[in-house]
Amino acid sequence: AQSVTQLGSHVSVSEGALVLLRCNYSSSVPPYLFWYVQYPNQGLQLLLKYTTGATLVKGINGFEAEFKKSETSFHLTKPSAHMSDAAEYFCAVSERAAGNKLTFGGGTRVLVKP
């Protein structure tokens, strides 16, 4: 069975500061990994994904994440936070044999301070 752990349910950053959201996963097979963002009262939107190939993946809105197999991690970063980054972020894993069924982490809510 697969699982996802996001460290920190809430993160507060200053505008312009680094955003770092941590995600660790467990999976019995090579996983597909995703980060989704949810703005208030909206559905989930894909930020970025890792399937195969380059382990550093770039997404929308200046976010990127690095797949580290040895650490079973897929941490999300953005060099400089913007007020519009305030949202909830979800890490998710899909086992390739599971046909795109996603298992989500608990989410991290990001607050950006002016």
Partner 1 sequence: DARVTQTPRHKVTEMGQEVTMRCQPILGHNTVFWYRQTMMQGLELLAYFRNRAPLDDSGMPKDRFSAEMPDATLATLKIQPSEPRDSAVYFCASGLVPGTGDYEQYFGPGTRLTVT
By CB under 8 A, name the binding residues for partner 1: 32, 34, 36, 42-46, 49, 51, 90, 94, 99-107
Output 58 or 101, the one with its CB closest to partner 1: 101
- The least CB distance from residue 114 to partner 1, in Å, is 27
Q: What angle do CA 16, 17, 23 make, to 5 degrees?
A: 130
Decide whether 22 or 104 has the Cβ nearer to partner 1. 104
Helix (H, G, I), strand (E, B) or coil at 46: strand
DSSP class of residue 52 equals S
Give the separation between CA 7 and CA 83, rounded to whole angstroms: 22
Give the type of residue at 6. Q
Of the pair 21, 81, the CB lying nearest partner 1 is at 21
User: Which pair of structure tokens corresponds to residue 35?
Assistant: 């980060």
Shortest gap between Cβ of 4 and partner 1 (angstroms)?
10
**Smallest separation (angstroms) from partner 1 to the CB of 21:** 15
